[in-house]
Structure 1
Amino acid sequence: MTTAKDIQLPEGYGLQAFDVLDSTNEEAKRLAAEKPTQHLWVQADQQSAGKGRRGREWISERGNLFCSLLWKADCDLKTASQLSFVSALAVRDVIADFLQADRRVLCKWPNDVLVDGKKVSGILLETAGEGLTDPEYVIIGIGINLSRHPEEALYPASNLAELGCPDLEPLPALQSLVASLDYWMTEWRQKGFDYIRRRWLERAKGQGEQIIIRLPDEEIHGRFIDLDVTGGLKVETESGIRVIAAGDVFFAPAG
């Protein structure tokens, strides 16, 4: 049985594992206040107050992977936001490897991962520490549905067990994720965001297709054509090209 002590970490990284936390992102924020000099992974078997994008609840029962990386930043906020796509690629590769089904596993803008069109993972980026434009730390919160998923969700969901990968435990999954994220962060640092952007598009669902983007005060219908240089979603609408910085994407029904 894998324990937290068995997790192999890249140089400069630490790991803190817990039975129960309110949220791994919240624990990462508390750790950031202690000014750690290394990057820290935080993992919990269960969360009592897990959260997703836009403050939504993230169902956090035992059996799934709940973790966050407290990354000591060395870039500005605009650059740090690229980690959303870096992280999505890392998670996608982990899931595709577990399922041995590369083409079934796709990225959904901005940072979800889908298998057979159903959401199995989510990512939440936050910042911590002083500085608004140059954050001290970036927190990358990641949840992967290993053995269960919410029955009622904003987007159809599933888990890896029902998709063909039973008996996968959180800590072995974390080990794979640690290695995958380290790989993709190295690629990002060495090759830049345009490389990441192109790799993400190769693994994206819906490019060239009709999509719906729901914003707080508007619903946009159009064709997903590209990502811009910042990662914004480029959509061709009846009134022209629009670039969306944040929103919830849904895929239009066939026909």
Structure 2
Amino acid sequence: MAPGFNLSPTALGDGFRLESFPEIGSTNALALQRAAEGDPGKLWLVTGHQTGGRGRRGRPWEGRPGNLAATLLLRPKVELARAASLGFVAALALHDALEAVMPRSRFAIAPDGGNLAGGGRFALKWPNDVLGDGAKLSGILLETSGAGTGDLAVAIGIGVNVVDHPRETPYPATDLAALGVACSAADLFFALSDAFVDNLRLWRGGDDLAAVRDKWLGSAAGLGSDIAVDTGGRIVRGVFETIDADCHLVIREANGHMTKVAAGDVHFGAVASVKNLKANV
């Protein structure tokens, strides 16, 4: 086990376990391997240097030494569709952990024109990013194996830019050091393991999505502002109205129609109004 990483007393008391590594290819890949080997879940796999991480739609996640890569393996007894809401639980837990290691500042402005919630430094970008002062700080990736309520395994991967961030990205990115916080990957993980316990209890085994939705909306980036979502088939533009009971994005289009989006890439503010979206981001 790599030195420095520890579970919080709350996490230990709730039966979570930890494996940590100085360096690893992919914490998500190892979590799914552990699931195939029969691991019962509630297992954290964590490193300060991930060399083969990946994001949504197979995109590479660029890991830098000193950043945090962590995956929580869970075996929830829920349907696959309900398990997808664990991504929102993870975002809430990470938001709480970030607030624990760096208090809110009074003002924050998103560089792409999106509104941050409550004047805080951290905001949740649907469906799976956490922003710091409007720039991408973290990404969350859920991967599953099994399909039924008896054999489902969910790997919840969380990557956080702690000491460095990639520069050549289609979206502005940042890291905790750039935001002025002297925090190690181990410090952040300790807070994350603690916050995850509380937010899983809020989720109540998938029975209280309303509570998760309400808390997520309280820290949502871009709520009420112009938004464009590339769904892969078309680009939906309008105003970010809310997320629905299933945590799908709800957009009020120019004609007043409310469109629900289950998955897609989100752009706020001035970028959302660019007609040729893919060519300009």
What TM-score results when the alignment is normalised by the length of structure 2?
Answer: 0.84
Displacement after TM superposition at 1:45 (Å): 2.3
Question: Structure 1 residue 118: deviation in Å?
Answer: 0.6
Give per-residue Cα distances to partners, 1:104-127, cap 9 Å, x unaligned. 211110121111111101100111
**Which residue in 2 is equivalent to 1:3?**
4
**Pair 1:6–1:194, CA change in 2 (3 A):** closer
Aligned counterpart in structure 2 of residue 116 of structure 1, from 120, 133, 150:
133
- Report what 2:82 is aligned to: 79
| Distance (whole Å) between structure 2 residues aligned to residue 209 and residue 6 of structure 1 | 38
- Out of 195, 207, 229, the position equivalent to 1:180 is 195
CA apart distance, 1:12? 2.1
- 5 Å matches for 1:96-175? 96-101=99-104, 103-128=120-145, 130-131=146-147, 135-166=151-182, 168-175=183-190
| Cα distance change on mapping 1:16 and 1:224 into 2, 3 Å | same
* Aligned counterparts, 1:181-220, within 5 A: 181-189=196-204, 192-220=208-236
Give the SS at the match of 1:67: strand
State the 1:228 CA deviation.
1.1
Cα distance change, pair 186–29 in 1 and its aligned pair in 2 (3 A): same
CA RMSD of aligned residues (A): 2.1
Name the counterpart of 1:227.
243
Q: Is the aligned partner of 1:14 residue 2:17?
A: yes
Tell me if structure 1 keeps the 8 A contact 2:35–2:153. yes
- Tell me what 1:39 maps to: 42
Measure how far apart 1:170 and its partner are.
1.4
Amino acid at match of 2:102: L
Q: Aligned equivalents of 2:151 and 2:141: distance in 1?
A: 16
CA distance in 2, matches of 1:30, 1:137: 10
In structure 2, distance between residues paired with 1:227 and 1:199: 11
Q: Deviations over 1:180-214 (max 9, x none)?
A: 01110111118711011011111101111111111
CA contact (8 A) 2:77 2:149 kept: no
Question: 1:76 touches 1:134 (CA, 8 Å); kept in 2?
Answer: no
- Aligned mates of 1:135, 1:117 — CA distance in 2: 38
Q: CA deviation at 1:34?
A: 1.1
Cα offset for 1:3?
Answer: 2.5
Q: CA deviation at 1:36?
A: 1.3
Contact kept? 1:126, 1:139, Cα under 8 Å: yes
The letter of the residue matching 2:195 is S
Shift in Å, 1:2: 6.0
| Other structure's SS at 1:188 match | helix
Q: Which moved more, 1:169-178 or 1:183-192?
A: 183-192
CA spacing shift, 1:115–1:127, aligned 2, 3 Å:
same
**Aligned partner of residue 195 in structure 2, secondary structure:** helix
Q: Which runs of 5+ in 2 are unaligned?
A: 106-119, 274-281
Structure with bigger strand share is 1
